[in-house]
């Protein structure tokens, strides 16, 4: 399913990106030879009345729009006016920039729909503050609700994280507007220096020493695997584990720990079922993890408690406000992506934050399993990243082509072919290096 959702996500964004190039190319009078989703020999194709071939290829890591161009193959004289290379530089710039712009427009539309449909988030109430952490030194306390970060309103933990993440790698004073048990608003000033600059996967909330308020998850069974030790011991869905070897179980985490440390060891467990207390003997099976650790396993899943309504905050916007929020969210993401790339170049942010297709696939699967709202939000975020990446002034990318055409407009003639070839080779080296780092990071995370 993870692979399927990855293919769906990439295919959607590739079609949107390439359709941007395709749509503008046709309006500029350029003949499009092929519109391909995926790379390689086409698995399926069809032609329209204009002679454009639409195909699906087996490698789902991108796509392309192939246009008539004298630099790639001889062009019949009667079609020269439809060749890409014969078009004015400004039209070629428009065609090259249309793909990334299409990605940004998709993100705006996706966020517009999400904001109108309503977004749900968890109210940002502090559960605990780590001792001697920046938040603790500043005076933040358990039970405080974070109302704003440096004056920007935060109604959910997602918004708090979004506001904080821009300060990673910086020396700054982060001012939190909070409301405690007394319902009186006050400010908490948190001083940070080179904040999380070396972190492989920086978490801005825990990086301040803040732990969000969390539900206590009781040791109640919501799933029993067939043929598992749990089933053999007589455990049933709905059972509440009260004690193990006489030690009371406060929550699910404690129950998991008790099982993991006892491979092949009989455990005396007390459970509550339909109001009655029962004693059972459970022997966890021995399991070896990928890192070589040996733990116990019983084959039982948790029954997740329902989150209280007052822990959640639902926001809905009208048509006009929703569109404005979509534009604002997309522009913020564009700025954040560019800022993050600059911080990586400056050494203020670790390059281990770069992700490749493996991480994208995992996030695609996780977001899809969380629901349509989460998956659409992921598509919008990935679409913005794809648009920004393609606009970077690197040969091979759309931004590199735009740079060549701008230089041509200034010089009055194209750049020397030898210079363009050398630039493309440098661009290819940079992109391959970036891909290798991303793949390495993906494998390291596995």
Q: How many C-beta atoms lie closer than 10 Å to residue 80's C-beta?
A: 12
Residues, the chain: 446
- Alpha-carbon Rg for the chain, nearest whole angstrom, is 28
Rounded Cα–Cα distance for residues 2 and 366 (Å): 8
Residue 335 lies in a domain: yes
Instruction: Indicate whether 114 and 154 sit together in one domain.
Output: no
Instruction: Indicate whether 279 and 208 sit together in one domain.
Output: no
Instruction: Indicate whether 141 and 161 sit together in one domain.
Output: yes
Whether the CB-CB separation of 443 and 356 falls below 8 Å is answered with no
Tokens of 58: 């087996």
Instruction: Indicate whether 277 and 424 sit together in one domain.
Output: no
386: helix, strand or coil: helix
Instruction: Indicate whether 282 and 330 sit together in one domain.
Output: no
Q: 173 to each of 88, 192, 201, 211, 431, how far by Cα in Å?
A: 50, 6, 22, 20, 36
Q: What is the pLDDT, as a whole number, of residue 203?
A: 86
Q: What is the pLDDT, as a whole number, of residue 446?
A: 66
Instruction: Indicate whether 265 and 176 sit together in one domain.
Output: no
Rounded Cα–Cα distance for residues 242 and 52 (Å): 68
Which residue among the candidates 18, 72, 170, 211 is catalytic per the annotation? 18
Of the residues 302, 326, 346, the one at which a domain ends: 302
Residue 47 lies in a domain: no
Structural domain span for residue 271: 221-302
Q: How many C-beta atoms lie closer than 10 Å to residue 157's C-beta?
A: 19
Asked whether the CA dihedral 401, 404, 409, 410 is positive or negative, the reply is positive
Of the residues 276, 302, 328, the one at which a domain ends: 302
Residue 256 lies in a domain: yes
Of the residues 270, 302, 334, the one at which a domain ends: 302
Catalytic, 247? Answer no
Query: Per the confidence metrics, is the pTM higher than 0.85?
Result: no
Instruction: Indicate whether 209 and 280 sit together in one domain.
Output: no
Instruction: Indicate whether 180 and 326 sit together in one domain.
Output: no
Residue 96 lies in a domain: no
Instruction: Indicate whether 336 and 442 sit together in one domain.
Output: yes
- What residues of the chain score a pLDDT lower than 70? 445-446
For residue 366, give every residue at least 6 positions away whose Cβ sits within 8 Å of its Cβ, in sequence order, or none.
none
């Amino acid at each position: 399913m993870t692979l399927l959702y990855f293919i769906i996500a990439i295919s959607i964004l590739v079609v949107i990106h390439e359709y941007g190039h395709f749509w503008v190319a046709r309006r500029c009078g350029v003949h499009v030879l092929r519109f391909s989703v995926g790379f390689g020999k086409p698995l399926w194709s069809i032609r329209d009345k204009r002679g454009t071939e639409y195909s699906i290829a087996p490698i789902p890591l991108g796509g392309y729009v192939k246009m008539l161009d004298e630099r790639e193959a001889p062009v019949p004289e009667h079609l020269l006016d439809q060749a890409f290379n014969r078009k004015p530089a400004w039209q070629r710039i428009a065609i090259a920039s249309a793909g990334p712009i299409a990605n940004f427009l998709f993100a705006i539309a996706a966020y517009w729909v999400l904001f109108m449909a309503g977004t749900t988030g968890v109210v940002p109430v502090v559960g605990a503050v780590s001792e001697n952490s920046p938040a603790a030194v500043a005076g933040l306390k358990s039970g405080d609700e974070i109302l704003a970060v440096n004056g920007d309103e935060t109604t959910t933990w997602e918004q708090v994280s979004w506001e904080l993440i821009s300060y990673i790698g910086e020396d700054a004073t982060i001012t939190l507007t909070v409301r405690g048990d007394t319902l009186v608003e006050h400010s908490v000033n948190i001083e940070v220096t080179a904040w999380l600059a070396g972190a492989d996967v920086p978490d801005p909330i825990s990086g301040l020493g803040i732990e969000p308020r969390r539900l206590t998850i009781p040791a109640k069974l919501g799933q029993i695997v067939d043929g598992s030790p749990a089933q053999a011991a007589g455990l049933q869905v709905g059972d509440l584990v009260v004690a193990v070897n006489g030690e009371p179980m406060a929550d699910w985490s404690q129950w998991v720990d008790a099982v993991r440390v006892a491979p092949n060891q009989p455990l005396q467990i007390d459970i509550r079922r339909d109001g009655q207390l029962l004693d059972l003997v459970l022997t966890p099976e021995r399991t070896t993890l990928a890192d070589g650790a040996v733990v116990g396993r019983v084959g039982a899943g948790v029954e997740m408690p329902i989150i209280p309504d007052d822990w959640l905050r639902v926001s809905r916007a009208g048509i006009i406000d929703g569109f404005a929020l979509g534009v604002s969210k997309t522009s913020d993401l564009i700025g954040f992506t560019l800022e993050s790339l600059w911080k990586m170049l400056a050494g203020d942010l670790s390059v281990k934050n770069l992700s490749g297709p493996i991480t994208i696939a995992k996030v695609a699967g996780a977001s899809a399993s969380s629901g349509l709202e989460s998956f659409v939000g992921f598509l919008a975020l990935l679409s913005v990243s794809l648009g920004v990446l393609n606009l970077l002034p690197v040969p091979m990318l759309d931004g590199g082509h735009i740079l060549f055409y701008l230089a041509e407009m200034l010089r009055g003639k194209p750049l020397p072919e030898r210079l363009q070839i050398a630039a493309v080779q440098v661009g290819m080296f940079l992109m391959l290096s970036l891909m290798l780092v991303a793949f390495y990071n993906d494998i390291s995370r596995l």
